[in-house]
Amino acid sequence: MRSLGVKAGFFGAEPWSETMRKEIEEKLHLLAIDIYGLTEIIGPGVASECEHQNGLHIFEDHFYPEVIDSKTGKALPDGEKGELVITTLTKEGSPLLRYRTRDITYLERSPCPCGRTSVRMHRVLGRTDDMLIIRGVNVFPSQIEEVILKVEGVEPHYQLVVERRDNLDELEVQVEMNEKLFSDEIKVLERTEKAIEAELYATLNIHTRVKLVEPKAIARSEGKAKRIIDKRTL
């Protein structure tokens, strides 16, 4: 890869985490830039990071962004997480007014070292339709993925099972082991489960139960991943 001399790559679509970015940059020897877009608006090109990788500059001359509370529809101030809403300003064929993206992010207007003055959106934190509320805490699968990616011996394939026992939500995180860990002693597996639980607690502030599963046990999906099984009856 180094001999190709590729300087930068643009990555988008399914939320990719900071940990995955580091891995891509190390393995491909390039600057991995986050890009954002959606088919309904224009496809890729609504926003992109600059070389400082601190939020995606929105092309405000073409798109008017707002962040709203997805329940009330009210606009939120900069820095507050909510659903990104986009109005196209220059699109002529099929303009969209206050299009709800279902993507969760927040806006940031502090100056960027690159000199661009456009508003920046934080990398997409999740989707309004895949946000889980566990014991009152908002949990995004992307946060869990970020933790899992840091752990030795497991694959980035996981499934979340939510149940409610005695009126309390319980979250089980099933994580796939790689072949090497799978052939290891039970003691090692238990230690790994506990380590992931501790790391998840540090990130999410909720207790989870981590269960390691055999390699290839979790169904692969094409396109949007189906990672949540919610068994709660409310």
Site residues for Zn ion per CB under 5 A: 50, 52, 112, 114, 116
Residue type, 187: K
CA nearest 85: which of 143, 38, 17, 133? 38
The answer to whether the CB of 189 falls within 8 A of the CB of 212 is: yes
| Minimum distance from residue 52 beta carbon to Zn ion (Å) | 5
| Minimum distance from residue 159 beta carbon to Zn ion (Å) | 37
| Minimum distance from residue 164 beta carbon to Zn ion (Å) | 44
| Minimum distance from residue 82 beta carbon to Zn ion (Å) | 22
CA nearest 84: which of 40, 117, 51, 50? 40
Q: Of 50 and 161, which has the nearer Cβ to Zn ion?
A: 50
| Minimum distance from residue 111 beta carbon to Zn ion (Å) | 9
| Minimum distance from residue 88 beta carbon to Zn ion (Å) | 22
